[in-house]
Amino acid sequence: MKRLLLVIIIHIIHFQLSIIHSFAAQSAANTALRVGYPSPSAAFYPLFATKEAGLLDKYGFDSDMVYVQGVKLIQVHVSGQLDIATVSSVVYLQASVGGADLIQVASSIDNQIMKLMVHPSIAKPQDLKGKTLAVTGFGSLTDLLVRQALKNWGLEPQKDVKLVQIGRMPDIATAIAQKTVDGGMLSFPTSLHAEKFNLKTLLDFAESGFESPATTVVVSRRYANSNRDGVLRFLKAYIEGTKRLLTDRELGIRALRRYGGVTDRDMLATTHDLFASRYIKKIPKINIKGVENSLNLIAENNPKAKGRKAEEFMDPSFMDELETTGFIKSVWP
């Protein structure tokens, strides 16, 4: 009886050790991955859905989602504290033209999800002459976009139309409603709330035909060269995550609730339906025209961007490989 008990105990110990070794082997096989994003905005929805769906785990990553606000994300990435980031094309290109080792490997949203919203008394672009518009800050994306729009309308920034910097977008919306300024640059969801103040959209950049990607996937050249398989596996997860986002409404709502800081069910549903139907591409291939447009925007204030080629700051070979090997077709038949 004692011998039988001893045999049972030995088998139990061996079984427990095998489980421990199995977990250790699985942990060793997984690749540590630090993925950064600069805002809880729905612009980074594909990444949120990819993580929420467990697809980074599926493709062998032990991943950390790292939120670093605004352009500080680029500093953290360049310093080597991130492996991959999702960020606006203008943001990473401003750093790259200055020498930062960052390139784009994918693009999910090819337009800027921003609106120039104005007081109801303004009916057309020409009515802006002599008026004041607000941006978050000089040199910011809001500033670059509105200057380009004004020039397209034949209006000279700071001569025909005064620009002021206010900071937070909710404060811009309030300033327009109170007629402190005549208009300003707003992004979703602030633009949605602004409609409740009866503010009107003078220009919707997402519908303007001007391509400048709001959501790209960026890596350093060093990381791309030394971890090509890792980048490919991440993009496989990202592509599958995008499909889940576009086809599984409840998953999308859960992902935005977790990473977007939104708790209101109606707002979550509205946001998902808007982004899934209008903004997010099924296949996140690089948009070279969008990169060129972004460089031209930056060149307005940064001479280092003048004459630079889009190909210097992108590597389409990853998405091309996933297409030629049939992976993309397997996800989107």
pLDDT at position 11 over 90: no
Is residue 327 within 8 Å of 245, Cβ to Cβ? no
Higher pLDDT, 166 or 232: 232
Higher pLDDT, 158 or 235: 235
**β-pairing, 183-187 with 114-118?**
antiparallel
Higher pLDDT, 333 or 30: 333
pLDDT at position 10 over 70: no
Q: Give me the residue spans of the domains in the chain.
A: 29-111+213-331, 114-207
CB-based contacts of 210, cutoff 8 Å, min separation 6: 111, 112, 148, 293
Q: What is the pLDDT of residue 105?
A: 98
What is the Cα–Cα distance from 223 to 246, expressed in whole angstroms? Answer: 29
Q: What is the pLDDT of residue 152?
A: 87
Q: What is the pLDDT of residue 283?
A: 97
Structure confidence by residue, pLDDT tens digits, 194-237: 888 889 999 998 888 889 999 999 999 999 999 999 999 999 99
If you average pLDDT over residues 76-94, what whole number do you get?
Answer: 94
Q: What is the pLDDT of residue 269?
A: 92
Q: What is the pLDDT of residue 14?
A: 53
High-pLDDT (> 70) share of the chain, %: 91
Q: What is the pLDDT of residue 144?
A: 83
pLDDT at position 263 over 50: yes
Read off the tokens for 29: 């096989």
Residue holding tokens 């929420």? 52
Find which of 28-32, 148-152, 220-224 is predicted with most confidence, using mean pLDDT.
220-224
Residue holding tokens 């708790």? 263
Averaged pLDDT score across all residues of the chain = 88
Least-confidence region, from 13-22, 102-111, 158-167: 13-22
Q: What is the pLDDT of residue 196?
A: 81
Q: Give me the phi and psi of 260, to 5 degrees please.
A: -95, -5
Read off the pTM: 0.82
What does CATH list as the number for 29-111+213-331?
3.40.190.10
Q: Where are the alpha helices (DSSP H) in 30-100?
A: 45-52, 55-58, 72-78, 89-96
Per CATH, 29-111+213-331 and 114-207 having the same topology is answered yes
What is the Cα–Cα distance from 165 to 140, expressed in whole angstroms? Answer: 10
What is the Cα–Cα distance from 96 to 90, expressed in whole angstroms? Answer: 10
Structure confidence by residue, pLDDT tens digits, 177-190: 989 999 999 888 88
Q: What is the pLDDT of residue 16?
A: 52
Is residue 252 within 8 Å of 272, Cβ to Cβ? yes
Written out in words, the top-level CATH class of the domain with range 114-207 is: alpha beta
Helix (H) or strand (E) holding 295: helix 288-299
> 326 in helix, strand or coil?
coil
If you average pLDDT over residues 163-188, what whole number do you get?
Answer: 89
